[in-house]
Structure 1
Amino acid sequence: MAPRDLAALAALFADETRAAFLLALLDGRAWTAGELARHARVAPSTASEHLGKLVAGGVLAEERQGRHRYVRLADPGIAHLVEDLATRAEPAVRHPPRGLRGASVGQAMARGRTCYDHLAGRLGIAITEAMTGRGLLRQDTGFALTDRGVAWFGERGIPLTASGRRPVARGCLDRTERKPHLAGIAGAALCAHALDSGWCVRIGSERAVKVTPEGEDALHRVLGIDPSIMR
């Protein structure tokens, strides 16, 4: 990569409005330009201009359905880059959230959330540590599913479908817990299964997720996770 290419990529992130878009898109879903404009509190024309730059730079992928224009993060690598930058950008001294709603949202996000397409927060860490403790996942030489781990996914009908060059298992540093949680194909598959099976539900307009009573029972049964950790 030429220095100018790296500078051009960095410039795409160096704008508060575009940064707000990228953080919102970490929920793994496709958003319309209008939704992102309202989220960042900018005019639709301003949002369209910024989105054009992000799409042209390969950071976002664009999909059109009829009159609607949807955008999403271009690939998991971009999502990890955004999350890593957000982690490094966290201030050394955290300021208390403003108001009751800010405190509630922060607590919910720390308890459990999606990080692009995998689980994060205390929930993601609890799952990762439980899988490691049961010999399903190795962290000593980088993240890797063991043979038992691959079989564990198969026994529960959770497909580990290959996707390009994406690794089966990858460690992603958790912004709030400062420990690695499971990402990669396995992390995405487990998150999708948790949402599809009703173990977790999305709450609010943020990326927060909540473990349901059925999810508490299931995670305790299959991974031995203490339900109190997920509350």
Structure 2
Amino acid sequence: MRDGPDIAQIAALIGDPARANMLTALMSGKALTAGELAREAGISPQTASSHLKKLLAGSLVRVRGQGRHKYYGLSGEDVAHVLENLMGLAAGRGHLRTQTGPKDAELRSARVCYNHLAGSRGVQMFTAMQKQGYLETTEDAVHLTEEGTQFCTGFGIDLEGLGRSRAPLCRPCLDWSERETHLAGKLGRAMLTRMEEIGWLVRIPDSRIIRFTRTGETEFDAQFSA
């Protein structure tokens, strides 16, 4: 037996269609019950329970109890990062869902990728922040510059508070629909939260879709003109 991480085990957990649908539903960053995940996957509650036990054992999801209910979420941003990359790989190889509709355009425009902005709007923000000198990129890393620090502070983000956790401040994330990079990490999460606080955007319930307000769209384009 060869040494090293067992990627086959993780791949098998993600590769089941029902479990893949459940994990994708959790990419909204919202914790869901087993019943809600069963509906997302189109399976019975009993089957969903069996799948969730496997995902818990594989440390891909975590569960929290509140009263009589249990809520499931992704175990961490690293899981979301892998899922987003797999979505990009699938889209690039032409493996797309057969059901399409009006919501698809909105999903590609702006959506939640676990806890940060993704879609064409997310890529627009990342590209603009690079061009404006706020972000400095290397082959596999992103760093906030001094100019970027000043911008974030002026935008109302508490960078000092963000530094208290061990998660990376900036992280590149390959956007599955745009096939370009958007901003993840603590700063990506903080940017999305701040834009929601100042009324630039709203999250659509029971969906990963983000919808910009009319004012927010104007302000966003003015700030992040690529």
TM-score, normalized by length of structure 2? 0.89
3-state SS, counterpart of residue 58 of structure 1: coil
Is 1:166 paired with 2:164?
no
Question: How many Å separate the matches in 2 of 1:154 and 1:8?
Answer: 43
Question: How many Å separate the matches in 2 of 1:104 and 1:195?
Answer: 23
Question: How many Å separate the matches in 2 of 1:224 and 1:123?
Answer: 9
Question: How many Å separate the matches in 1 of 2:41 and 2:103?
Answer: 17
Which structure 1 residue ranges, 5 or more long, are not aligned?
Answer: 227-231
3-state SS, counterpart of residue 90 of structure 1: helix
Which position in structure 2 is the counterpart of 1:211? Answer: 212
Question: How many Å separate the matches in 2 of 1:76 and 1:92?
Answer: 24
Is 1:114 paired with 2:115?
no
Which position in structure 2 is the counterpart of 1:45? Answer: 46
Which position in structure 2 is the counterpart of 1:125? Answer: 123
Question: How many Å separate the matches in 2 of 1:2 and 1:149?
Answer: 42
CA offset digits 1:105-150 (Å, max 9, x no partner): 1111111111111111111011111111111111245311111112
Which position in structure 2 is the counterpart of 1:35? Answer: 36
Question: How many Å separate the matches in 1 of 2:54 and 2:15?
Answer: 12
Which structure 2 residue ranges, 5 or more long, are not aligned?
Answer: none
Question: How many Å separate the matches in 2 of 1:57 and 1:180?
Answer: 28
Which position in structure 2 is the counterpart of 1:177? Answer: 178
CA offset digits 1:74-131 (Å, max 9, x no partner): 0111110111122112253466954xxx231111111111111111111101111111
Which position in structure 2 is the counterpart of 1:225? Answer: 225
For the Cα contact (< 8 Å) 1:117–1:191, is it kept in 2? yes
For the Cα contact (< 8 Å) 1:97–1:103, is it kept in 2? no
Question: How many Å separate the matches in 2 of 1:12 and 1:164?
Answer: 29
Q: CA deviation at 1:159?
A: 2.4
TM-score, normalized by length of structure 1? 0.87
Which position in structure 2 is the counterpart of 1:86? Answer: 87
Q: Aligned in 2, Cα 1:217/1:17: closer, same or farther, shift over 3 Å? A: same
Number of aligned residue pairs: give it.
222
Question: How many Å separate the matches in 1 of 2:54 and 2:25?
Answer: 17
For the Cα contact (< 8 Å) 1:143–1:170, is it kept in 2? yes
For the Cα contact (< 8 Å) 2:112–2:209, is it kept in 1? yes
Q: CA deviation at 1:197?
A: 2.3
For the Cα contact (< 8 Å) 2:81–2:173, is it kept in 1? yes
Question: How many Å separate the matches in 1 of 2:55 and 2:203?
Answer: 27
Q: CA deviation at 1:4?
A: 6.8
Percent identical across equivalent pairs?
37
Ranges of 4+ aligned residues in structure 1 off by more than 4 Å: 1-4, 94-98
3-state SS, counterpart of residue 117 of structure 2: strand
Q: CA deviation at 1:192?
A: 1.2
Which position in structure 1 is the counterpart of 2:22? Answer: 21
Q: Aligned in 2, Cα 1:48/1:143: closer, same or farther, shift over 3 Å? A: same
3-state SS, counterpart of residue 129 of structure 1: helix
Letter in 2 for 1:216: E
Which position in structure 1 is the counterpart of 2:150? Answer: 151
